[in-house]
Amino acid sequence: MSFRVYFVTPDGVSDELVMAAVRGGATAVQLRDKQAEDAAMIAQARRLRALLAPLGVPLIVNDRLAVALAARADGLHIGQSDGDPLRMRAALGPVAILGLSIETGAQLAALPPGAVDYLGVGPVRATATKPDHAAPLGMDGLARIVRAAPVPAVAIGGVGAPDIPALKHMGCAGIAVVSAIASAPDPEAAARNLAQTWSHA
């Protein structure tokens, strides 16, 4: 799986916006919606997986194990308060992708060996996309966690194309963005800029 340009969707995202991001170069999609009912999210996840699978782009569901299982999504991403990673791994099976949000070095140290496939590390900076986020790590704090991570680490939280050279240099597997794509006047072009910047960094 490639995490280079990891698109995390805003609430109420349209299928069209997701596909525009993928056309531009998004290499993974996390369907995140804090407002949608499970049934609506399952239906959208099934539609998106049918569209993304032929392109080799994995669909990861945020937080909701039941939705991920019902939609046969490629994986699940959980936060620190969303349940035990080992229990989630047991429910998903060995093939599904499991990601975990890491906000501190202590959380990384407590990571159960072999439970997750990648880490979402952040927030790097304060971001309006998630107002209840933990204290920002900054680039130095991010680098410390990335260096110690036993699995690929993706930077998230207030990061964009200008940060890519530094992120790639410190060993990040990719950049996760919401508004950098979703709020752009041309989401496809925004995703393409991120993908090209990553390739050339």
The verdict on whether 130 is a catalytic residue reads yes
Q: Has 124 been labeled as part of a binding site?
A: no
DSSP class per residue in the chain? ---SEEEEPPTT--HHHHHHHHHHT--EEEE--SSS-HHHHHHHHHHHHHHHGGGT--EEEES-HHHHHHHT-SEEEE-TTS--HHHHHHHH-SSSEEEEEE-SHHHHHTPPTTS-SEEEE--SS--TTSTT-----HHHHHHHHHHH-SS-EEEESS--GGGHHHHHHHT-SEEEESHHHHTSSSHHHHHHHHHHHHHH-
Residue 80 burial (CB count, 10 A): 14
Q: Has 33 been labeled as part of a binding site?
A: yes
Q: Has 30 been labeled as part of a binding site?
A: yes
Which residue in the list 47, 125, 130, 144 is annotated as catalytic? 130
Q: Has 168 been labeled as part of a binding site?
A: no
Q: Has 23 been labeled as part of a binding site?
A: no
> What tokens were used for 47?
């539609």
The verdict on whether 101 is a catalytic residue reads yes
Which residue in the list 32, 64, 89, 192 is annotated as catalytic? 32
The verdict on whether 168 is a catalytic residue reads no
Q: Has 114 been labeled as part of a binding site?
A: no
Q: Has 34 been labeled as part of a binding site?
A: yes
Q: Has 2 been labeled as part of a binding site?
A: no
φ and ψ at residue 61, rounded to 5 degrees: -95, 135
Report yes or no: 121 and 153 within 8 Å, Cβ to Cβ. Answer: yes
Q: Has 107 been labeled as part of a binding site?
A: no
Which residue in the list 49, 101, 168, 192 is annotated as catalytic? 101
Q: Has 45 been labeled as part of a binding site?
A: no
Q: Has 62 been labeled as part of a binding site?
A: yes
Q: Has 197 been labeled as part of a binding site?
A: no
Binding residues: 30-34, 62-63, 82, 101, 127-130, 158, 178-179
Residues annotated within the binding site for Mg(2+) are 63, 82
* Residues with active-site annotation: 32, 101, 130
